[in-house]
Amino acid sequence: MTSVRVGIIGCGMAGRKHIDAFQSLGSLASVVGICDENIELAQQIGETLDIEVVENYSDLFNFGIDLFVIATPHATHHKLAIDGLNSNISLLVEKPLASNLSQAKEIAAICAEKKLKCAVGFVHRHRMELQAAHRHITQKDCGEVVYLTDTFWLSGGERLPEWLWGASEAGLGVLGYSAIHRIDWQGWLANSKVASVYAQTKVDGIYEGSIHGVVANLMYENGVVGSVVGYQPNVDVSKPFISTVIAGSQGLINIKLGQSFEIRTAVESYRKSIVQDDQFVKQARDVVNAIVEDREPCSSVNDGVHSAAVVEAIIQSAKTDSRIDVKD
């Protein structure tokens, strides 16, 4: 395989980032077709970048694509993923992998049966500050990880797509849009799955019944404790608050996402500002290399299944006000 042929459905905010990322890889990959329900938007992008546009996503499968990128509303992920896999095409699916655990497990089962790759768009793993944290943790520079805590306060409400908040479209609100990223990277950094959760959610807001805020305590299988606290009200925030703290037995890491990375131990202390790199390009390269090298991508279908299990446990915990075991 000289170049991975990519077809992309969804030309919105995330989809355009994927298009640009794969197009930037030169001879490694080429975007050969795109599709969006807003055909005028797709045609505008296609004309600008000289990419063929189709009205029906199934037509992308006739282009001999090796990778089908799904960047559409959450409720559509399951059917699109199944159709792609049944056409023997590997996937990159924006997070969440599916609207619920049952759907995610079905995708994983078909993926394993057909021996195809399925990456999940947990793109923040590729940020330089989280890569630095992962490197220091792997090297035991902070000793053993004791706890991780993530706090965020971001623009929400009308500033995000309305489908995100609709229960009928499985939007999951802040839980499926922002908190799920923290759930994913905490497990990646802790090198462990979540064993149980205790959580509360805030459902009153501009979209009645949707999840606008979450407080979740995560107990990991290896004894690490995590917490995710987030809120996305109907307010426009120019400088959002996004903080990650990783406490180890011999040191501490403090991350301001997109701004700074700091580590303090008995033998090493430094702080550096973050020069924004393009995590979407890094993700695209990883997925392409996973296909070429026949290996699992950085964030695999199994990561997508586990995050779906954690999300379902958080929702159940909030409804029952009890600790819930996580079962993939």
Residue 154 — φ and ψ, nearest 5°? Answer: -130, 165
User: Are residues 215 and 98 both part of a single domain?
Assistant: no
**Average pLDDT score, the chain:** 94
User: Are residues 59 and 104 both part of a single domain?
Assistant: yes
Q: From CA 141, how far away is CA 114, in angstroms rounded?
A: 40
The CATH code of the domain that includes 36 is: 3.40.50.720
Q: Which of 143, 12, 155 is nearest to 76 (CA)?
A: 12
User: Are residues 197 and 313 both part of a single domain?
Assistant: yes
| pLDDT value, residue 167 | 59
User: Are residues 141 and 82 both part of a single domain?
Assistant: no
The CATH code of the domain that includes 254 is: 3.30.360.10
User: Are residues 77 and 165 both part of a single domain?
Assistant: no
User: Are residues 119 and 45 both part of a single domain?
Assistant: yes
Q: From CA 105, how far away is CA 42, in angstroms rounded?
A: 31
User: Are residues 113 and 194 both part of a single domain?
Assistant: no
SS3 per residue for 90-108? EEEEECCCCCCHHHHHHHH
**Domain limits for position 15:** 4-123+281-299
User: Are residues 167 and 261 both part of a single domain?
Assistant: yes
User: Are residues 227 and 115 both part of a single domain?
Assistant: no
Q: From CA 112, how far away is CA 32, in angstroms rounded?
A: 26
Residue 111: its H or E element: helix 101-114
- Would the pLDDT of 203 be above 90? no
| pLDDT value, residue 148 | 99
Which carries the bigger pLDDT value, residue 162 or residue 287?
287
The count of structural domains within the chain is 2
- Would the pLDDT of 170 be above 60? no
Judge contact between 139 and 295, C-beta under 8 A. no
- Would the pLDDT of 158 be above 80? no
| pLDDT value, residue 309 | 98
Give the tens place of pLDDT for each residue, 240-251. Answer: 889 999 999 999
User: Are residues 102 and 157 both part of a single domain?
Assistant: no
| 74: Cα separation from own chain's centroid | 12
User: Are residues 27 and 59 both part of a single domain?
Assistant: yes
User: Are residues 109 and 131 both part of a single domain?
Assistant: no
Longest CA pairwise span in the chain (Å): 59
Helix, strand, coil tally for the chain in percent (to 5):
40, 25, 30
Q: What percent of the chain has pLDDT over 70?
A: 98
The DSSP symbol for 162 reads G
